[in-house]
């Protein structure tokens, strides 16, 4: 199969290069996130289509490049734009699981944990000690899509709560079995 783009007007060629590279990089950004979340098979399938698109776009850019170096600028702009939009899209999809740690004063810790459990959260409580005394450390494994409501629920129970979040990759078990 021989695709000849020789008759395509220059403006359209720039648009085709930009659009295809933009799509390829957006897909690439999502693939990286999917693979780091442990979904290797899905990542491999996405990579198959991604690399075919990449080869096609690079062929368009390299074809007669010396007489039209603006193709490089278009390619670079699409690469940057695709990274930006891909990261925004990944944030909206909110793939993965987090460990949310909430540190609260010890006297209220058990009640706050119970309040979160009553809202359907799995909470593990450990004891600690801070500068101003005993603390309870509440650990919750949540899906990324639930960050905002979880934080709001904790702040409603204790406005002075200290919250940190870490990305995790659950392997096995737990309440409601996040991963089996």
Give yes or no: residues 67 and 110 share one domain: no
67-104 in b/e form (b: 16+ CB < 10 A) is: eeeebeebbeebbeebeeebeeebeeeebbbbebbbbb
User: Is 81 part of any domain?
Assistant: yes
**Which CATH number covers residue 119?**
3.30.70.120
Angstrom CA distances, 121 to 93, 108, 141, 153, stand at 21, 17, 8, 10
User: Is 161 part of any domain?
Assistant: yes
Where a domain ends, among 93, 126, 144? 93
Give yes or no: residues 114 and 159 share one domain: yes
Number of domains composing the chain: 2
Does pLDDT of 44 surpass 90?
Answer: yes
- Cα 64 to chain centroid, rounded: 37
Give yes or no: residues 51 and 124 share one domain: no
Residues facing 134 on adjacent strands: 129
Give yes or no: residues 104 and 131 share one domain: yes
Residues facing 140 on adjacent strands: 100
Give yes or no: residues 106 and 70 share one domain: no
Contacts 24+ apart (CB under 8 A), 61-65: 61/17, 63/5
Give yes or no: residues 17 and 83 share one domain: yes
Q: Which whole number is the average pLDDT over 126-154?
A: 92
Give yes or no: residues 82 and 156 share one domain: no
Of the chain, the end-to-end C-alpha distance in Å amounts to 46
User: Is 4 part of any domain?
Assistant: no
Give yes or no: residues 89 and 14 share one domain: yes
What tens digit of pLDDT does each residue of 6-29 get? 677 888 999 999 999 999 999 999
pLDDT score at 10: 84
Give yes or no: residues 126 and 84 share one domain: no
pLDDT score at 180: 41
Would the pTM of this model clear 0.85, i.e. be above it?
A: no
User: Is 174 part of any domain?
Assistant: no
Where a domain ends, among 93, 121, 146? 93
Q: Which whole number is the average pLDDT over 28-40?
A: 87
Give yes or no: residues 140 and 160 share one domain: yes
Lowest mean pLDDT among 2-16, 73-87, 127-141: 2-16
The pLDDT-based confidence of 179 (bands split at 50, 70, 90) is very low
User: Is 114 part of any domain?
Assistant: yes
Where a domain ends, among 69, 93, 117? 93
Give yes or no: residues 74 and 144 share one domain: no
For 105, the domain range is: 97-168
Integer-rounded Cα Rg, in Å, for the chain is 24
Give yes or no: residues 61 and 22 share one domain: yes
């Amino acid at each position: 199969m021989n695709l000849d783009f020789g008759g395509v007007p220059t403006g359209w060629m720039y648009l085709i290069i930009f659009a295809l590279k933009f799509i390829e990089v957006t897909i690439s950004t999502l693939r990286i996130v999917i693979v780091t979340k442990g979904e290797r098979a899905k990542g491999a399938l996405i990579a198959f289509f991604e690399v075919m698109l990449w080869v096609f776009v690079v062929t368009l850019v390299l074809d007669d490049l010396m007489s039209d170096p603006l193709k490089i600028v278009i390619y670079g702009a699409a690469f940057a734009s695709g990274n930006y939009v891909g990261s925004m899209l990944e944030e909206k999809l909110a793939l993965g699981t987090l460990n949310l740690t909430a540190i609260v004063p010890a006297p209220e810790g058990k009640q706050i944990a119970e309040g979160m459990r009553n809202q359907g959260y799995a909470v593990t409580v450990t004891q600690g000690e801070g500068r101003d005394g005993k603390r309870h450390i509440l650990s919750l494994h949540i899906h990324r899509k639930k960050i905002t409501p979880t934080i709001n629920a904790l702040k409603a129970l204790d406005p002075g709560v200290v919250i940190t979040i870490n990305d995790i990759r659950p392997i096995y078990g737990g309440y409601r079995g996040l991963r089996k």
